[in-house]
Structure 1
Amino acid sequence: MGFSCRRFLIARDDTLWRLPTTKFQQMLREPENHCLSAFAGQRVRMADVVIELTAKEPVRVVRATFSILTFDAQGGLDPGAFEKQQLTLAESIIAPVFAVPADLSKQSVVDASARFIAQGGQWVPSRALARAIDEAALGQRRCRRL
């Protein structure tokens, strides 16, 4: 038994594009040298899917997360926007664990800026799209590869 991560970009028409991890890492490190012109000037949905493998064959989807990538006019990924969204998302999960209870009766303004940044980098697929993503991750549906 093992695990594997599959990453997909979802075009505006819900077409799935498989994005290899090495290509995504290159896009984060050197966005100007690893452009995707098909997504130039767009905010594009991304799905990260962890699948369980048995005898190197995909068996089931273990977890799926959904985020948004921002591309510039040339199709270069904006790594700063992605990293900021990911950091604020992690902070929003970890912060409540270490938070000191505040006296809410004395607090008139709530700082929700981190929550809005994190939410701006997330999305929720429809049932049909979630099923298509799962099927693609399990090798039951063909999709284009970037």
Structure 2
Amino acid sequence: MGLSSRLFLLSADDELHALAGTAFMRMLRREDVARVPQFAGQRVRQASVVVEVVDGTPSRMVHWTFSVLDFDTDGLLDVERLNTQQLARMDAQFEPSRPAADTGGTFVDAASRFVARGGSWAPDERLLRRIEAAALRQVSCPKVRIVR
């Protein structure tokens, strides 16, 4: 048994596009060879899935996250915005409410929560099942075209 990760980008019409992990790493490094013209100038939903693999066959999803990626007009990933959103998502999980100094009530700093919310999304049950089928390789989907 082992684990494997799968990445997908979803077009505006909910079509799944498989994204190779190596291509995503190039996108994160903002390499000029990692442009994605088909998503240029768009906010695109990403599904990141970890699957359990038994005897070389993906058997089930064990973890999944859903992010929103921003691409500039040249098709390059806005890594700075992604990093800000991901850090805000982590902060939101670990930041406790603290008493307000002057009111005695509870103070919640919601700024990072709004940033985090802008960088994530949740699929409906039908779309989640389609993502699962693609992650388990029960259905095929086109690959994201990276321009060199």
Scaled by the length of structure 1, what TM-score is found? 0.91
**Secondary structure in 2 matching 1:12:** coil
Task: Tell me, yes or no, if the aligned pair for 1:31 and 1:77 is still in contact at 8 Å.
Answer: no
**Secondary structure in 2 matching 1:145:** coil
Task: Tell me, yes or no, if the aligned pair for 1:10 and 1:46 is still in contact at 8 Å.
Answer: yes
Scaled by the length of structure 2, what TM-score is found? 0.90
**Secondary structure in 2 matching 1:106:** coil
The corresponding residue for 2:109 is 111
- Shift in Å, 1:145: 1.1
The corresponding residue for 2:12 is 12
Which segment is superposed worse, 105-114 or 47-56?
Answer: 105-114
| Mapped partners of 2:86, 2:139: distance in 1 | 29
RMSD between aligned residues: 1.8
The corresponding residue for 1:141 is 139
Task: Tell me, yes or no, if the aligned pair for 2:100 and 2:106 is still in contact at 8 Å.
Answer: no
| Mapped partners of 1:32, 1:117: distance in 2 | 27
The corresponding residue for 1:93 is 93
- Shift in Å, 1:108: 8.0
Higher helix share: 1
Count of residues in correspondence between the two structures: 143
**Secondary structure in 2 matching 1:135:** helix
Deviation readout 1:82-128 (Å, 9 max, x if unpaired): 011101101111223xx6x4258435864211000000001111221
5+ residue gaps, structure 1: none
The corresponding residue for 1:128 is 126
**Secondary structure in 2 matching 1:129:** helix
5+ residue gaps, structure 2: none
